[in-house]
Copies of this chain bind each other. A is one copy, B any other.
Amino acid sequence: MNKSRLEAFSDGVIAIIITIMVLELKIPHGDDWHSLKNLAPKFISYIISFIYVAIYWNNHHHLLSTVKHVSGAILWSNTHLLFWLSLVPFVTAWAGENHFSQLPVAAYSLVLFMAAVAYYILSKSIISSHGKDSVLSSAIGKDLKGILSALAYAIAVPLAFVFTPASIFIIVGIALIWLIPDRRIEKKLKEMD
């Protein structure tokens, strides 16, 4: 399995995910301020998801940049990650449509949690097939940031049924934290040059 084709396929899928979300932004029937106001929650939902998919694209690129050979485990861990990311347009539209009510926010949190778990599995697959001394292994270390994010999403799922705004706060907050690209890998790669 060729690494560049895995990258190209992943890039293609992520590019399509980030773009087709706009198709879920249904055109309002009216052309007045009222119809625009109704669109607000869907639009906010769209912005958050756009940022999340962009973050995943960016981090995914960093992760794959350390790969030297693609094993079956890496291939399927990657497909597993793409599966959860492919559900982002669905939960985005559902959460926006229902003004961030309990169940849709819980579903949104669940998809983010599963994507974070899938990302973690992918990084473990890469480490296990490249050895513990590989660039990625030393760069990621225990990947505290990733584990803490996953834990926060795990909390956001049940929390949505108790106090939904707290779950929304977690989702938005972690997005902002991740907006800062992962300099750990970049740093290690530079040190090796």
The CA of A101 and the CA of B9, in the complex, are separated in Å by: 33
A120 located at the interface, meaning its Cβ lies under 8 Å from any Cβ of chain B in the complex: no
In the complex, residue of chain B having the shortest beta-carbon distance to the beta carbon of A1: B61
From known contacts A9-B57, A13-B15, A27-B90, infer whether A65 and B2 are also in contact, taking CB-CB under 8 Å.
yes
**Is A149 in contact with chain B by the CB < 8 A criterion?**
no
CB distance B20 to A15 under 8 Å? Answer: no
Residues 138-162 of A, flagged 1 when their CB comes within 8 A of B and 0 if not, give 0000000000000000000000000
**Pairwise interchain contact A23-B22, C-beta atoms closer than 8 A:** no
Q: How far is the CA of A86 from the CA of B51 in the complex (A)?
A: 13
**Do B33 and A103 touch (CB < 8 A)?**
yes
**A106 to B: closest C-beta gap in Å:** 10
Q: How far is the CA of A87 from the CA of B42 in the complex (A)?
A: 13
- Are A103 and B31 in contact (CB-based, < 8 A)? yes
Known contacts A9-B15, A75-B181, A181-B75; is-contact A22 B86 (Cβ 8 Å)? yes
Rank and list the top 7 A-B pairs by shortest CB-CB distance, nearest first.
A12-B15, A31-B98, A16-B19, A31-B101, A54-B79, A72-B181, A27-B93
